[in-house]
Copies of this chain bind each other. A is one copy, B any other.
Amino acid sequence: MTKAVAKRLKALRQRMSNKGIDVALFWDPDNQYYLSGFRAISYSRPIVYLVYKDKTHYIIPELERDHASQMAEVDDFFIYHEKLQDHDKDTNYLQPLNHIMDDFPKEHVLGVEMDIVPASAYQRLIEKGFDIKDVGEDVIDLRSVKNEEEIYWLEQAGYLSDIALEASFHHVRAGMSELEFDSYGDQQLLETASDEYPDLIIGYENWTCSGIERSSMPHLYSSTRRFEQNDVVVHSRQVWINNYRAENERTFLIGNPTKEQKKCLALAIEAQRVGMEAVKPGVKAKDVDIASYKVFEEAGYGEYIQHRTGHGLGLSEHEEPYLRFDNDLVLQEGMCYTIEPGIYVPGAGGFRHSDTVIVTKDGCRSITTYPRELEDMLFPNH
């Protein structure tokens, strides 16, 4: 077992003990990875990770056995099968789960991720008569502060995302589709990663929304829509390497933007700068959100905000804690957040940059560094 996983399990068990939890059962793929070192690509066959006071178990489909054995140092695997030859063994994940629970003393207290575990499994735990407590919030807490190795991988993800943005922006022109714009970045990213990071897993996601109508909706898949002359475009990219993610988003203007569009983008850039400046240990998550919010509000654009200023980042696409107006969480060194205040203005479009920052001893450091000033975001029509 890696030192990092051992340390996390120790911290988890301390929290389990404080809450009187005897066994914690994890369904969330990212929590499983964090606490065991193993992650699958697909969970249509459910995988459950069990953490006891003194041992760990995996309930896992046969096709993941070798991979899990290689990645996770677990005390026991309970395999379920799906081929005719094994018809007399366990053939779905609820069977080993039942056997295991039948061996628990009746007074056992179970910890589960209440926001994750599906009702069908939860109902079984209830029917067995066990007391159940939430353990999801504890792993959110643990995951929120990154160690040195995690920060290293976040930085590499940030570096690769910068390279991808540079390649996409190198080719920007009216007439190319959103997905083609993305693909230049993808290709450069994979080429660079293949050269510099041998034998590692790497991935990415893009969401590019072009034109006034599409950019005004914060979350859309990239499409085959072609950039038009004088378009506003919000390009979002997440890159992950060795499971850790960075987010890098830029809003840019093609051709001759309106005065209003330039003003909105300048405001979003300023709101992001102010948000970043607010980040340091000791301030609350809400302080960062409100700092960015006020930039829009004071300019008369408060009503065009649709979302919080940022989210935690690490193993998941969006992870808690969130930078929201109502979150009293105190920031600590080693936390990782996106800073991405945005406005969505009828007739003008959407305006939002996102960068990924690590909280440092006395402020924060952005691990995504692609240029973000207004003059960097203006491109000719051809």
Contacts and interface: CB of A to CB of B under 8 A. Distances in A.
A177 interface: yes
Contacts of A65: 306
Interface residues of A, number: 80
Interface centre among A63, A112, A216 (most CB of B within 10 A): A63
Contacts of A222: 201-203
Interface in A77-111: 82-85, 87, 91
Contacts of A220: 41, 67, 201
Contacts of A174: none
Contact of A41 (B198, B202, B221, B224): B221
A270 interface: no
Interface of A is mostly: mixed
A255 B14 CA distance: 54
A180 B186 CA distance: 10
A223 B207 contact: no
Interface string A132-159: 1010000000000000000000000000
A329 interface: no
A191 interface: yes
Contacts of A115: 118-120
Given A193-B224, A199-B225, A307 B63 contact: yes
Interface string A282-315: 0000000110010001000011011110010000
The 8 closest A-B pairs by CB, nearest first: A44-B318, A177-B194, A119-B122, A84-B325, A63-B306, A114-B120, A201-B221, A179-B190
